[in-house]
């Protein structure tokens, strides 16, 4: 499990913990899930005095109530992936709706940009946590270029959410070599200049 920081377009490793599958444990080892390790990392970073402005994570963590509870406990903002079949319980009589697609310019770390599309998916009444779909093509919705995210950020997110979540992809791509040697990236701690 790895945590990375982003500061002024510079990415750097902050902390890692080794995940050991149950079948590889020695008798003296204690089994911990990836979620438990990720929550430990966040707790330790906060205790070390890091000011975490935003947590980015993939769907393993985005769909974990334990992980999201830890973020809520520390009052941390987050943008996390969820699977396209993510379930949300709605009160009787409420339904979901997808808002219109909005075009935005996705700006990459090299300052180049490409057109992307984003829309909010509203489940019942507006809530503090919102759900979004981001894609390169709303007509074909290609699986490898369509992302579903959940966030507790507030405000008009149509122009910023795609870039914010894109930081996770940037970090993962940038550390691809060590990812194969260690363990997949669980997320990233982002700080702005």
Q: Chunked in runs of 10, what are the mean pLDDT values of the chain (193 residues)? A: 77 83 88 92 93 88 92 94 80 85 86 90 85 91 85 90 78 55 40 40
Whether residue 56 contacts residue 71, with contact meaning beta carbons closer than 8 Å, is answered with no
Judged on CB neighbours under 10 Å (0-12, 13-18, 19+), 150 is: buried
Task: Enumerate the β-bridge partners of residue 188.
Answer: 4, 56
Instruction: Give the pLDDT score at 174.
Output: 54
Residue 49, SS3 per DSSP: coil
Instruction: Give the pLDDT score at 71.
Output: 95
Instruction: Give the pLDDT score at 39.
Output: 94
Instruction: Give the pLDDT score at 172.
Output: 62
Pairing of strands 185-191, 2-7: parallel
Domain ranges of the chain: 2-84+95-191
Whether residue 94 contacts residue 126, with contact meaning beta carbons closer than 8 Å, is answered with no
């Amino acid at each position: 499990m790895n945590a990375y920081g982003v500061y002024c377009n510079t990415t750097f490793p902050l902390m890692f913990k080794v995940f050991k599958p149950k079948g590889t444990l020695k008798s003296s080892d204690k089994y911990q899930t990836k979620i438990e390790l990720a929550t430990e990392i966040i707790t330790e970073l906060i205790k070390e005095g890091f000011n975490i402005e935003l947590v980015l994570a993939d769907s393993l963590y985005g769909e974990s109530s334990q992980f999201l509870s830890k973020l809520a406990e520390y009052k941390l903002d987050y943008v996390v992936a969820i699977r396209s079949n993510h379930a949300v319980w709605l009160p009787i009589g409420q339904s979901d709706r997808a808002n219109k697609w909005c075009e935005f310019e996705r700006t990459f770390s090299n300052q180049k940009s490409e057109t992307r599309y984003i829309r909010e998916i509203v489940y019942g009444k507006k809530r503090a946590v919102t759900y979004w779909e981001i894609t390169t093509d709303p007509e074909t919705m290609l699986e490898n270029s369509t992302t579903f995210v959940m966030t507790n950020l507030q405000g008009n997110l149509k122009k910023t959410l795609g870039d914010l979540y894109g930081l996770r992809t940037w970090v993962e791509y940038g550390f691809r070599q060590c990812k194969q040697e260690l363990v997949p990236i669980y997320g990233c701690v982002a700080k702005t200049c």
